[in-house]
């Protein structure tokens, strides 16, 4: 019932656009994302991190995603993001996810190859595709963090893909997780991406790709958020990266920002309204807005068929 992630990404690769991967943690986030996918007629990937599973429970998230898939006219894939715990990865494979990521980026190269290969063999037997990573994305979130960026080495990337048989590869070209992505100019190492694209034929994935849009930062700050030095990946960099083989783009921070801005504004502008539905509905609408903008930038609008 979920769409096949590999099929979605291969089609995107052929046609030169990217599919949005959006991290979900609760019902309002799922609905906000899915509303945007349906309104734009775009395929989409819903993703859960180990932190999301710890927070909400695998079955709750799985059921939310299944309900979304059943009630949508667009293809929806379901993906494990930054899997590190082999037990969780296996549970997700058994639960019928479309794809899982094994994040061995913190491991020595040979060990990353060894474990990725084992997971690929296990997942492929069950028709599930695998995303892997070499190099490190910067930044820190709940369970996903790295002190510094280590750019992906294009030659190592080629060897890694050949030896592991992974289906898509997350590359480190200067992005970071979270809202503080660049200290200097907001630029990706597109030169490295171009070299990687020459070496590798499978779809490439960009993590830490949120745009951190000004309109959301302004609302969140106006209603009390402290967000110093926030900067996202500019849309022109995203579009160039898509031209160089990026087919899957991960977004979590922009959804957090939309949620935060919506909730803060509701609470402060209607202090006597304690109905959670009234507090959360505007946050859900802001998520729909930001996801619609992402989908437009990625070029996946009207690619549902």
State the catalytic residue, choosing from 81, 153, 252, 260: 81
Q: How many Cα neighbours within 13 Å face the side chain of 66?
A: 10
How far is it, in rounded angstroms, from Cα 57 to Cα 146? 25
Closest separation in Å from C-beta 269 to ligand 13P: 27
C-alpha to C-alpha distance for 97 and 74, rounded to whole angstroms: 17
Instruction: Supply φ then ψ for residue 281, to 5 degrees.
Output: -60, -45
Give me the DSSP letters along 96-145: T-SEEEE--TTS-HHHHHHHHHHHHHHHHHTT-EEEEEESB-BEE-SS-E
Query: Residue from 117, 181, 207, 256 that binds Zn ion (CB under 5 A)?
Result: 207
State the pairing for strand pair 246-251/19-23: parallel
Find the binding residues for ligand 13P in span 52-111 (CB under 6 A).
81-82
Q: Which residue, 81 or 167, has its beta carbon nearer to ligand 13P? A: 81
Residue 244 CB: number of other CB atoms within 10 A? 18
**What residue 52 binds from ligand 13P, ligand G3H, Zn ion, none (CB within 5 to 8 A, per partner kind)?**
ligand G3H
By the rule CB under 5 A, 256 interacts with Zn ion: no
Cβ of residue 49: shortest distance to ligand G3H, in angstroms?
A: 4
Tell how far CA 218 is from the center of its chain.
23
Does the active-site annotation cover 153? no
The entry of Zn ion, ligand 13P, ligand G3H, none near residue 51 (CB within 5 to 8 angstroms by kind) is: ligand G3H
Taking residues 189 to 218 in sequence order and writing x for each that binds ligand 13P by CB under 6 A, - otherwise, the string is: ------------------xxxx--------
CB of 237 closer than 8 Å to CB of 187 = yes
Identify the residue among 79, 117, 177, 294 touching ligand 13P (CB under 6 A): 177
Binding site for ligand G3H (CB under 6 A): 23, 49, 51-52, 81-82, 141-144, 177, 252
Question: Which residues here bind ligand 13P, judged by CB under 6 A?
Answer: 23, 81-82, 177-178, 207-210, 250-254
| Residues in touch with Zn ion (CB under 5 A) | 207, 250
């Amino acid at each position: 019932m979920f769409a096949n992630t590999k099929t979605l990404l291969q089609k995107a690769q052929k046609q030169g656009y990217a599919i949005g991967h959006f991290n979900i943690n609760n019902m309002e986030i799922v609905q906000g994302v899915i509303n945007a996918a349906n309104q734009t007629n775009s395929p989409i990937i819903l993703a859960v991190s180990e932190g999301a599973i710890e927070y909400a429970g695998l079955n709750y998230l799985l059921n939310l995603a299944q309900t979304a898939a059943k009630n949508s006219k667009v293809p929806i894939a379901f993906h494990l993001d930054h899997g590190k715990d082999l037990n969780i990865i296996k549970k997700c494979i058994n639960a019928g996810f479309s794809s899982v990521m094994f994040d061995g980026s913190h491991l020595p190269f040979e060990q990353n190859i060894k474990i990725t290969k084992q997971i690929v063999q296990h997942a492929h037997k069950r028709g599930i595709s695998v995303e892997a990573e070499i190099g490190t994305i910067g930044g820190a979130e709940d369970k996903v963090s790295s002190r510094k960026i280590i750019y992906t080495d294009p030659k190592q990337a080629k060897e890694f893909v050949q030896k592991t048989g992974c289906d898509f590869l997350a590359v480190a070209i200067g992005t970071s997780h979270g809202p503080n992505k660049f200290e200097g100019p907001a630029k990706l190492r597109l030169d490295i991406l171009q070299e990687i694209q020459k070496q590798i034929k499978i779809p490439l994935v960009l993590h830490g790709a949120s745009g951190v849009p000004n309109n959301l930062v302004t609302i969140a700050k106006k209603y009390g958020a402290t967000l110093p030095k926030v900067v996202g990946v500019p849309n022109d960099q995203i579009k160039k990266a898509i031209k160089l083989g990026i087919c899957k783009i991960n977004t979590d921070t922009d959804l957090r920002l939309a949620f935060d801005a919506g909730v803060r504004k509701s609470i402060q502008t209607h202090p006597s309204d304690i109905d959670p539905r009234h507090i959360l509905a505007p946050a859900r609408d802001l998520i729909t807005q930001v996801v619609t903008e992402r989908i437009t930038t990625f070029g996946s609008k009207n690619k549902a068929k």
